[in-house]
């Protein structure tokens, strides 16, 4: 795989996403499409001859491989402005400090301090080449691959498994999901494959086909290890985890079920060495159908937008809100002049469902809203002040970029605080640069409950238990009220520069 996210540099590996299977760390690739919606023909590959009534010595994937392999291609590109590269397939390398938190945690858990630290070095000033995998989704030459494979390319060509090479043009790309759609002209009889209409189950057999290390068409087999994985690549993560061998150069290659249908596109691996260790990820086919159609029709992808900052409803937050179970999304901030503000969504609302469908978590809300077109109306069920209500919101178009939040300056010390929580507080108006609303945290006891929950000096407390606070005394009174109500935790709204979020602080006696 060739090149996690940096179309906007601050997120490091996330928004460009998509440096091919991160040189021994993480590489990102992406999804597939419902080919049946792109062309009228129907292509039905044969089912592999694997049945439970055959002896193990006769089991084989050969039939399905023979049918689908002609549709899988190698994608090669030439770059006018070469990316920073340190290996032959054009993969950028990143320091571990730029990894998503989930992946960094993976390294700590399984590799300790032994994981290599790949840092970018100056690339040679020459015309670079990159490579990856892809596959035909229609007889008239539409090809799916990754955005990072063709990003900044001046020329793109694909090579089929019979050795023929064709020039390809980029129809459209979606950096947010790392999808790219290519078109090869001149033929209407390319072999192609379709996407599965159903979701795979954990334990199902899968076949991965691609171009690892530039070797050409290669097939590996495994099973679906897990579903719904979030590896911190982007807001819409919902990966299928597989254990089929996937290596650098597989970016954009398809993952098949035994019916020869694409269930996903190989997108990422986690590895300390750059090779396969049995942990690979693919974006599920069903999540890309709309994206592919839009790329074909307009060359771009538009997404719905509400205009709220959200965070997960944890067990502690659910307890403080009076919810019986965690789930949904808590509104930490409402941006002005957005659909949410116009519809009356408020800070502290817990969004529980969209159009009657219960939300699993905050990411689920992001995916559901993004899957809808701007201008669409959605019904959000929210919990406010202990009561559920339904609010209709007309979605706007998701802005191209979202400003990254900055780290706060350190506040000045003050001798007013709540020592049981490990906080020293002062009215925001008394601390330069803290603004005029709320109570600024001037000092945090590193061993206290507040520090354990990520609160920092310079954070501004805006609300405690749903009530606005302006002085340290207000904070203490709100906490005392929560204790009087026998609550184990109190919900605190904290602002850090441009971003607001909720934090739960323990207030139970004893």
User: Active-site residues: which are they?
Assistant: 148, 178, 251
- Beta-sheet strands, E only, within 316-360: 329-334, 350-354, 357-358
Dist CA 471 CA 414 (whole Å): 12
Q: Which residues contact 220 (CB under 8 A, 6 or more apart)?
A: 207, 208, 244, 245, 246
Query: Per residue in 471-486, is it b (16+ CB within 10 Å) or e — as a string?
Result: bbebbbebbeebeeee
Would you state the structure tokens that stand for residue 207, as one six-digit string? 């076949």
Q: How far is CA 426 from the centre of its chain?
A: 38
Q: Within 13 Å, how many C-alpha atoms sit on residue 493's CB side?
A: 24
Residues 174, 265 contacting (CB under 8 angstroms): no
Dist CA 381 CA 132 (whole Å): 43
Residues 496, 434 contacting (CB under 8 angstroms): no
Q: Which residues contact 464 (CB under 8 A, 6 or more apart)?
A: 474, 475, 478, 479, 482, 490, 491, 492, 493
Dist CA 314 CA 77 (whole Å): 45
Beta bridge partner(s), residue 96: none
From residue 49, give the alpha-carbon distance in Å to each of 46, 60, 65, 258, 394.
9, 6, 11, 9, 50
Task: Give the residue among 411, 384, 403 at the shortest CA–CA distance from 323.
Answer: 384
Residues 458, 413 contacting (CB under 8 angstroms): no
Q: Which residues contact 461 (CB under 8 A, 6 or more apart)?
A: 425, 438, 439, 440, 441, 469, 475, 492, 493, 494
């Amino acid at each position: 795989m060739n090149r996690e996210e940096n179309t906007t540099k601050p997120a490091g590996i996330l928004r460009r996403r998509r440096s091919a299977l991160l040189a021994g760390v993480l590489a990102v690739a992406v999804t597939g499409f419902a080919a049946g919606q792109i062309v009228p023909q129907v292509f039905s590959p044969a089912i592999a001859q694997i049945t439970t009534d055959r002896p193990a010595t006769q089991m084989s994937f050969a039939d399905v491989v023979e049918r689908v392999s002609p549709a899988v291609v190698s994608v090669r590109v030439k770059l006018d402005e070469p990316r920073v590269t340190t290996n032959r397939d054009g993969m950028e390398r990143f320091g571990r400090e730029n990894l998503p938190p989930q992946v960094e945690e993976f390294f700590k858990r399984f590799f300790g301090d032994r994981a290599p630290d790949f840092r970018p070095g100056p690339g040679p000033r020459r015309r670079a080449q990159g490579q990856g995998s892809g596959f035909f989704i229609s007889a008239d030459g539409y090809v799916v691959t990754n955005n990072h494979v063709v990003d900044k390319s001046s020329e793109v060509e694909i090579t089929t498994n019979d050795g023929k090479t064709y020039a390809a043009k980029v129809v459209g790309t979606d950096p947010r999901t790392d999808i790219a759609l290519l078109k090869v002209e001149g033929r209407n009889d390319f072999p192609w494959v379709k996407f599965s209409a159903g979701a795979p189950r954990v334990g199902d057999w899968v076949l991965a086909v691609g171009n690892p290390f530039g070797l050409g068409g290669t097939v590996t087999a495994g099973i679906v290890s897990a579903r719904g994985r979030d590896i911190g690549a982007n807001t819409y993560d919902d990966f299928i985890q597989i254990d089929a061998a996937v290596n650098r150069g597989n970016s954009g290659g398809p993952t098949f079920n035994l019916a020869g249908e694409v269930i996903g596109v190989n997108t990422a691996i986690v590895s300390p060495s750059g090779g396969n260790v049995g942990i690979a990820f693919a974006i599920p086919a069903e999540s890309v159908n709309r994206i592919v159609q839009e790329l074909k029709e307009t060359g771009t992808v538009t997404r719905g937008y509400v205009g709220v900052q959200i965070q997960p409803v944890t067990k502690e937050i659910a307890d403080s809100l009076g919810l019986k179970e965690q789930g949904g999304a808590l509104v930490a901030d409402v941006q002005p002049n957005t659909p949410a503000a116009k519809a009356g969504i408020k800070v502290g609302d817990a969004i529980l469902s969209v159009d009657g469908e219960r939300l699993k978590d905050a990411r689920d809300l992001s995916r559901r809203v993004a899957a809808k077109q701007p201008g669409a109306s959605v019904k959000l069920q929210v919990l406010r002040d202990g009561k559920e209500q339904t609010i209709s919101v007309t979605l706007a178009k998701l802005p191209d970029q979202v400003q990254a939040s900055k780290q706060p300056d350190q506040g000045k010390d003050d001798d007013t605080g709540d020592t049981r929580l490990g906080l020293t507080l002062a009215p925001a108006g008394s601390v330069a640069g803290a603004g005029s609303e709320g109570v600024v945290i001037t000092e945090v006891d590193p061993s206290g409950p507040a520090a354990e929950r990520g609160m920092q000096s310079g954070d501004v407390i805006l609300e405690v238990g749903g009530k606005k606070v302006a002085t340290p005394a207000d904070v203490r009174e709100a906490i005392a009220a929560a204790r009087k109500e026998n609550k184990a935790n109190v919900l605190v709204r904290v602002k850090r520069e441009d971003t607001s979020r909720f934090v739960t602080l323990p207030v139970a006696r004893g």
